[in-house]
Amino acid sequence: MNFNGIISLLIACIEFLLLFNLLVFVKKNKVNKIALTMIALLASYQAMEFLMCQLEMQSSFFPFFAFVLISFLPPLNLLLTINLKNQIINKKIYLIFLPAILFSVYYLFVIPQFAVTSCTVLYASYHYPLGDLFGFFYYLPILISIILLVRFIKVCADKKIKLIAKVLLFGSIFISLPVLFGFTLMLLKNYSIISAMESIMCKFAFVYAVCLSFICLYNSPFNDERNYFKYLFSNKQ
């Protein structure tokens, strides 16, 4: 029996369930909206990977669309980090999305070059153009986020925001572990994991989705369902 992509389906279901509950129970402030968007993108990517690997929907459009989804995750992570630090955001900061937009537009014209080269139970491997350049602009915002969070945690006096920053830092470091492992293998002349790096990172990002869920809940004025309904009804009166 073929179980390729089954882990992606499991993760997608859990992440969509998390997303649904968070949409119901958390406050829709700026930080939470960014976190919710990231969980939605992660869940959508896992669903796409299941479709490609288990249902063999491997037309070039599907890996292209999957890459468009995940290309916006690192700048969103950086935007979330910056929003924790600053109450007022300069509109120029949204230029961090420019690489993801440019890659999405460019890839739109070279969709036939996308391909799913292999599938396993845990991850998928891809072939896509400008892989090294895409990787650079994909990992750079994550690295910048980690540096900013480390510096922010050292000076932050607000215990609530500091805990959120620590959780976000843990999630950012955790999803970077496959990258460090992959680059280590590259130094040893082993390139087997590189073509599957984005897929593996998104599997690790399940823990990151849990971190984002905690941030949304902790960043809301209630801690459980009873407090939520109390908060909801008191606002209606």
**Between 73-85 and 98-108, two packed helices, what is the crossing angle to 10 degrees?**
170
The sign of the dihedral angle between the CA atoms of 113, 53, 73, 69 is: positive
Give yes or no for a contact between 8 and 47, defined as CB atoms under 8 angstroms apart.
Answer: yes
**Between 30-53 and 73-85, two packed helices, what is the crossing angle to 10 degrees?**
160
Mean pLDDT throughout 112-129? 87
When the pLDDT of each residue in the chain is averaged and rounded to a whole number, the result is 86
Quickly state the pLDDT bin for 141 (edges 50, 70, 90): very high
Q: What is the pLDDT of residues 84-112, one digit of tens each?
A: 877 656 778 889 999 999 999 999 999 99
Is 0.75 topped by the overall pTM? yes
Give yes or no for a contact between 172 and 152, defined as CB atoms under 8 angstroms apart.
Answer: no
Q: What is the pLDDT of residues 45-83, one digit of tens each?
A: 999 999 998 888 878 999 999 999 999 999 999 999 998
Task: Read off the tokens for 35.
Answer: 């976190």
Tokens 């089954």 correspond to: 6
Give yes or no for a contact between 178 and 197, defined as CB atoms under 8 angstroms apart.
Answer: yes
- Alpha-carbon gap, residue 176 to 180, rounded angstroms: 6
Q: Coil, strand, or helix at residue 17?
A: helix
Could you tell me the residue ranges of all domains in the chain? 6-113+130-236
Backbone angles phi and psi of 117, in degrees to 5: -85, -30
pLDDT at 226 over 50: no
Give the CA dihedral 234, 22, 140, 120, nearest 10 degrees.
Answer: 180
Kindly tell me the number of DSSP H helices and DSSP E strands found in the chain.
Answer: 9, 2
- Alpha-carbon gap, residue 135 to 126, rounded angstroms: 13
Task: Read off the tokens for 25.
Answer: 């129970």
Please identify, in words, the CATH class of the domain defined by 6-113+130-236.
mainly alpha
Q: CA 136: distance to chain centroid? A: 16
Amino acid at 179: V
Q: What is the pLDDT of residues 29-54, one digit of tens each?
A: 899 999 999 999 999 999 999 999 88
